[in-house]
Amino acid sequence: MGTERHHSPRLLLRGGLVIDTAPHPVVHPHTDVLVEDGRIAAVGRGLPGDGTDPGLEVIDARDLIVLPGFVDTHRHLWQAVLRSAAVDESLERYLGRVLGDLSARFTPADVYTGNLLGALECLDTGVTTVQDFSHVQYTPEHSAAAVEALEEAGIRAVFGYGYPVFDDTARRADWVRQVRTRHFPSGDGLLTMALAPVGPSFTPPETVREDWLLARELGLPIAVHVTAGPVAMRPIAALQEQGLLTADTLYVHGNSLPDSELRMIAESGGAVAITPAIEASMRFGAPMAGRLRRAGIPTGLGADAVTSAPGDMFSQMRAALMSSHFDGDGEDGEATVKAADVLRMATVEGAEALGLADQIGSLTIGKRADLVLLRADALNLAPVAHDPIGAVVTAAHPGNIDTVLVEGRPVKHHGQLLYGELGSVLSEAHRAVERLGASRS
């Protein structure tokens, strides 16, 4: 195992600049956070405890920003070994090259390497929870490799079982049942499962119904790409007509959907994941953050595909904030989407979108201690006192991360990822690139 799984039963973060996100982002200077058994036990000033208590580990956080771990609500982790392979390509060329040509060449070993590399990248950049939309399930062995890599990384993840886009023979309900039974028998823990079908925008109604009923049978939430067409121009209405519009559905993108479709999502209790960097580079349509905010839909952010865009949440937050300025103003000329809104999307709102808001996303007492600690004294952040929330959203970058905790367990500390076999992972990634023939150099 590359990462040790044990953690101190009790951990005290002393005197940090704490940013909580619920019910709305708020800053608490000079504040302590106590972690016990992987959960947040207390938040406040002057909490009892010092270095003389042998059962308590104390971290001096006086020069650190402490906030909930980031939640990435849509990413194809297996594509980490294809990083920057389609930067200047259109959506059509990406689909043909990555989801058509290269995807079909992936062995289970390649999927394992991609998922492990991608999950470690997430942890290194402060993403403690990721929704892995894994549409590379060519065989049960591919699925097992993907899940095993998530377990090895030690990340919190929702494994989205997805069918390969261009291989109908791999759309096998018995394989989905097998993965559910073998790898997710309890439905809780760090790893949970969702079904990630192709969906009503791209498949006929009878196929959609089979997939949605399978998810219902297995008690799985759904994650699905949506757009206006080419099959259903109104995919949300198409789901409603079949009685398949349910709350436990995460819709991805949706830039081309009219407001009437967004209202239906809001009324159903569904959520939306947006990936602003990819949506801009591949020209999916107008920015979504403001429209979703006005519709009252829980919204999460995602990196989507590192084949074409950056994989860190700081980049996604900036892309969401800056692009929303083109989406019209609110009352009195104020921006519809503000930095605090974007930070919520990256944390507690993303958790809500994944159905995990009772576990993660804020510093609420009793939640899992998934935390990110940033260097407040970094040159690009100091002096942070003016607007710490704005600084995190607009100025911070992965190099500012000092410590990352998952359930109170350090996975990164003093700026170093605590994974003992990183060199071998990188070597395997380079070998995968050579074997797949993905390099253009």
Provide the pLDDT for residue 54: 82
> Residue 97 has what DSSP assignment?
I
Q: 317 is written with which tokens?
A: 């937050």
C-alpha 438/C-alpha 434 separation (Å) is 7
pTM for this prediction: 0.96
pLDDT of amino acid 336: 83
Q: Which tokens in the block code for residue 95?
A: 């689909």
Q: Between the CA of residue 261 and those of 131, 230, 239, 291, 327, what are the distances in Å?
A: 23, 16, 11, 11, 18
CA distance 287 to 285: 7
The pLDDT value given to residue 326: 72
Strands 57-60 and 10-20 turn out to be parallel
DSSP bridge partners of 161? 134, 195
Q: Where are the alpha helices (DSSP H) in 199-346?
A: 205-218, 235-241, 259-268, 276-281, 289-295, 313-324, 339-346
Give residue 301's pLDDT: 98
3-state secondary structure of 359: coil
Bridge partners, residue 43, by sequence: 33
Per-residue pLDDT at 360:
98
> Which residues neighbour 49 within 8 Å (Cβ) at sequence distance 6 or greater?
10, 12, 34, 56, 58
Tens digits of per-residue pLDDT, 157-211? 999 999 999 999 999 999 999 999 999 998 789 999 999 999 999 999 999 999 9
Q: Tokens 């097992």 map to which residue?
A: 144
**18 neighbors 27 (Cβ within 8 angstroms):** yes
* Single-letter amino acid code for the residue at 183: H
Euclidean distance between CA atoms 291 and 274, whole angstroms: 11
Which stretches of the chain drop beneath a pLDDT of 50? Answer: 1
Judge whether 173 and 161 are in contact, CB under 8 Å: no
Biggest CA-to-CA distance, the chain: 66
- What is the spatial distance between Cα 138 and Cα 164, in angstroms, rounded to a whole number? 7
**Which one-letter DSSP state was computed for residue 69?**
P
User: Nearest CA to 353 among 228, 229, 224?
Assistant: 224
The angle at the Cα of 206, spanning 250 to 247, to the nearest 5 degrees, equals: 25
